[in-house]
Structure 1
Amino acid sequence: MKMRRIGLGAAAIVAASALVLTGCAGGDGGNEGNNAGGVITTNGSEPQNPLIPTNTNETGGGKILDAIFAGLVYYDGEGAAHNDVAESIETEDSQTYTITIREGLEFTNGEPVNADSFIDAWNYGALLSNEQLSSYFFEDIEGFSWDEDSELTGLEKVSETEFTVTLKQPLSDFPLRLGYSAYYPLPASAFEDMDAFGENPIGNGPYMLDGEGAWKHDERITLAVNPDYDGPREPQNDGLEIVFYANQDAAYADLQGGNLDVLDAIPDSAFATYQDELGDRWANQPAAIFQSFTIPERLAHWSGEEGNLRRQAISMAINREEITDVIFEGTRTPASDFTSPVIDGWTDELEGAEVLEYNPDEAKKLWAEADAISPFTGSFQIAYNADGGHQSWVDAVANSVKNTLGIDASGQPYPTFAEARTLITERQIQTAFRTGWQADYPGLFNFLGPLYATNAGSNDGDYSNPEFDALLAEGSTSTDVEEGTALFQQAQEILLQDLPVIPLWYSNVTGGWSESVENVTFGWNSVPLYHEITKG
């Protein structure tokens, strides 16, 4: 569904320009002998799909891909973009980009990382017949089509270490996007059997799968240090073991017992006590995470005018202030838009944002107007994954709706994240369902385009509004930062009218670590900077 104190929104375009003009140096010749010892154990979740970069858009798989792959750029803890595989990314018009790759780079199987590694991977991700969840990210490249399989004609190989990207229109933040996993390279061997590759991916990043059987499904994945990686994310430890917990309470118990080194999500049951229990080994800081739930228009009573009235009623029936205070102990902030306060360009003064405020009288009025169109029958349920620590807030939201509107409302748990997401992506789920967004890259567009643009890969509710699409496109092509931000805010005001999702709150990253590790930092997107962690 594929966060630190500062993001880049408006500043993102400035950062992208700096990246284009100057670039950053790579590593300094490998990481042998620099490790501080020890494998870092951390929490995670079973990936929804095999680990193919263009088909992974959720946090469980994304966390692993970011460790085993290196893209053209990477994001530091504050969300600033720096070159990794790229030697330089240059443009004169923000429409045609020349990308030069550092020489001598290899995948862990010895294959070269070259221009073809990116061109072939991006073309694979863009072909509709391959049914990749992140194909949307290639929409702006010349040749992409939503109607039929079409090669990305905007990709042209210049040499083994250089290629050009021609976009359909200027996009000044294009370099900033290139740190997202959809743009990772693939070795030539991946295309011989992509399904097999997804079960045993071969990357070029700071870590790699630790031999045969490293991925024990629904249990854990073990990653070793890649000794040949010489980029800027040089590991300071001996590897990662990512454990897939059935629930966050079990993970927290392991942290307290010394069986887990780093936890990136304190369970809500410990919000009142974790600071005392962990001493100075905790973090509670803003993150680029937006939480919501989606009510698909395809469900009875949730389309057209009736559906719009009911969405507004449901939204106004939720007491976000009370829930964030009681359930989350100050680790969440009620949402006033669809993005995140840590992203530059965010505002809490959007027209129509009153629909996100608790207003029981107006909620009842709107629900009655919807009933006059077609009386509501049955119950209102919100589906969620039980392994993610969501039961308390889902129950609280359901009770708020139930008590305000006088309807039957409840949570609908599914055992695992992968199970819930499969039903959602296959459009088989028959209730509302938990959604949210952990930013792929630090810009306002990333919170809007992938989730609400027509045909976008993470548009789980199949929302489509041509006016919204037009504003989004105009904002993304603007070379004026303030103008682009204003257009994105206008697009959000349409979302506040249509409510393709019901915004709930912004999340802090609330994590902790054991006495065995040091140098633990949580990044702008809530993920720990694993390569920096040391273990004595």
Structure 2
Amino acid sequence: MRGTTRTVAVAAMSAVALLAAGCGNGGESGGSSSSAAGGQKGGEITVRGCNPQNPLVPSNTTETCGGNVIDAIFSKLVHYDAETAKPENDLAESIETTDNQNFTVKVKQGNKFADGTDVTAKSFVDAWNYAAYGPNAQSSGYFMEPIEGFGDTQCTGEGDDPCAGAGKAKAETLTGLKVVDDYTFTIKTSEKVSNLPVRLGYSAFAPLPEAFFKDPKAFGDKPIGNGPYKLDAWNKEQSIVLSKNPDYKGAFGGKVDKITFKIYQDSDSAYNDVLANNLDITDEIPASALIDDKYKSDLPDRNAQKETGVIQTITFAPTKVDPNYADPKIRQAISMAIDRNTIIKQIFNGTREPATGWVSPVVDGYKADQCGEYCTYDAAKAKALLTEAGGFKGDKITLSYNADAAHKEWTEATCNSIKQALGVDCVATGVVDFATFRSQIADRKMKGMFRTGWQMDYPSIENFLAPIFKTGASSNDGDYSNPAFDKLLTEAAAETDAAAANQKYQEAEALLAQDMPAIPMWYGKTTMGWSDKVTGVKITAFGTIDFSSVALK
């Protein structure tokens, strides 16, 4: 069983009590996950960025390239402590419930968007209704599913336009959302949802100003947020420039005045720019610098590593897209053919931990060995299982990845392991950049297998299961559907006792081993490096840069 260096414990009722009472900033801790604190206020920094998949709208951003920007320019009801991911109130004065189904939210007064308009209860209700409404096709709309009336906001038709004719959504708004006054609104869920307050710090639940609804398309290119920073420019394929928001009155502001995300096509280029002091922070160390801990000698006292709520997986294309992987035995055989330990040792220099399930060890409810023998390398058993399934019917197994990040080496090593164990050709194929890669997956044009990863949205075992594997979920890239799995998730969400809820979630996770919709590869440790110009670099529990602590020396 894998030991954890940090456990994020989120009990159902205690989370509600915590948020209702409110709490102050969490303290910073040093160690291997951060550099020295302090530094001066002001100035500007540059960090590694990548091409967002979609326009920068909170409810339509489910990937890190856009998510890192969204989190810097939007504040939500709840903030997650950088070190522990513990939820604490941000824009919420309180979030109260007596039954885990009816919630009253009071919004702090005096907060504004970057265009000077007030953040009110209506800012949240309107934003969530927009996200939920099916014809708006928001990738994070699924996160509104627990709220009463969600089903009526969805289109029910089939084909190219499911919203046409009889398939038109019955309602444009959620019956479970009500504005009580300027700074109070209520949420009613269809069923009890014990961890709802914990979820409300995710970007899908960000508020939106009136300007968004006047021109959503223009807003996506230059969003108007309410967070510590505001977006000044998005130079497509080149950079995204943020500056400090002078109207921000929250408790989580940053020290630097300007942040520029420089968009790179590969991680080696970003790393070399850090070495040359042409880039201040890279949140990804290339495989070439991980070998023999080269990055530590390259960047003495300018590197950090932290175990984070991240898991790397390989997902199979939906059966309708590629039927060659339809049989679970074929998927299980491929998983058993992957020598995770050797790949981690040779490619990542031991900076990953082999995954034994689909849930990160850093969250409460994690259970080791949920994948069982199917995540243990055994070439003989793998080949026997493939034979039992009738063999692989396609010409070759393919594994696609985005070529603008450090995935080439490990995907090629994975394919070599599969080929040697199964005797079937396997080819790792790079796609030019993350935006193109994700678009091909979203459009269901990606065949074979493809790299997937999950960075937790909020600290809960549920977050590693429901958004990825529940029927119709926003990040269900393989179109996995199992009624028994869905039923267990619903039952778990209704539990008021955290231990009972976790047990249900664990039972649901165990079903994934039978179906193998995605292959668990390894749990994440985020490694960062920075120039000699900055200090206070901290890796959050989510594996991102904590912009509230970074400063120039």
**Cα offset for 1:174?**
0.6
Deviations 1:327-363 (A, max 9, x none): 111111110010111112212143x511110011111
- Matching residue of 2:51: 46
CA contact (8 A) 1:40 1:240 kept: yes
Q: Matches of 1:15 and 1:184 in 2, distance apart?
A: 23
- Matching residue of 1:227: 246
Deviations 1:374-411 (A, max 9, x none): x6231111110000110000000000011111111011
**Cα offset for 1:158?**
0.6
Q: Matches of 2:11 and 2:290 in 1, distance apart?
A: 33
Q: Matches of 1:209 and 1:20 in 2, distance apart?
A: 29
- Matching residue of 1:288: 309
- Matching residue of 1:24: 23
TM-score (norm 2): 0.91
**Residue 395 (str. 1) matches residue 412 (str. 2):** yes
CA contact (8 A) 1:26 1:83 kept: no
Match of 1:139 among 145, 148, 151: 145
Match of 2:544 among 522, 527, 534: 527
Q: Matches of 1:105 and 1:49 in 2, distance apart?
A: 27
CA contact (8 A) 2:316 2:325 kept: no
Query: Structure 1 stretch 232-241 or stretch 316-325: which is displaced more?
Result: 232-241
**Residue 462 (str. 1) matches residue 482 (str. 2):** no
Counterparts of 1:27-426 in structure 2, within 5 Å, are 36-77=41-82, 78-145=84-151, 146=154, 147=156, 148-150=169-171, 151-210=173-232, 214-272=233-291, 273-296=294-317, 297-302=319-324, 304=326, 307-350=327-370, 352-371=371-390, 376-426=393-443
**Residue 438 (str. 1) matches residue 455 (str. 2):** yes
CA contact (8 A) 1:254 1:260 kept: yes
Q: Matches of 1:519 and 1:313 in 2, distance apart?
A: 45
SS in 2 for 1:330: coil
Deviations 1:269-321 (A, max 9, x none): 100300111112111221111111111222444465xx211101100100001
CA contact (8 A) 1:12 1:442 kept: no
Letter in 1 for 2:304: A
RMSD of aligned Cα (Å):
1.7
Moved over 6 A (4+): none
Letter in 2 for 1:425: A
- Matching residue of 1:511: 528
Letter in 2 for 1:6: R
Q: Matches of 2:231 and 2:142 in 1, distance apart?
A: 28
CA contact (8 A) 2:112 2:226 kept: yes
Deviations 1:55-95 (A, max 9, x none): 10000000000000000011111101111111111111111
CA contact (8 A) 1:5 1:285 kept: no
Q: Matches of 2:203 and 2:193 in 1, distance apart?
A: 19
CA contact (8 A) 2:102 2:188 kept: yes
CA contact (8 A) 1:129 1:149 kept: no
Q: Matches of 1:20 and 1:233 in 2, distance apart?
A: 16
Deviations 1:195-235 (A, max 9, x none): 1110010000000012xxx1101111010000111111121
SS in 2 for 1:364: helix
Q: 1:274 to 1:15 in 2, by over 3 A?
A: farther
TM-score (norm 1): 0.94
Q: 1:104 to 1:46 in 2, by over 3 A?
A: same
Letter in 1 for 2:308: A
Q: 1:239 to 1:73 in 2, by over 3 A?
A: same
Query: Structure 1 stretch 397-406 or stretch 294-303: which is displaced more?
Result: 294-303
Q: Matches of 1:285 and 1:506 in 2, distance apart?
A: 11
Letter in 2 for 1:452: F
Q: Matches of 2:367 and 2:333 in 1, distance apart?
A: 24
Q: Structure 1 regions of 5+ residues with no counterpart?
A: 28-33
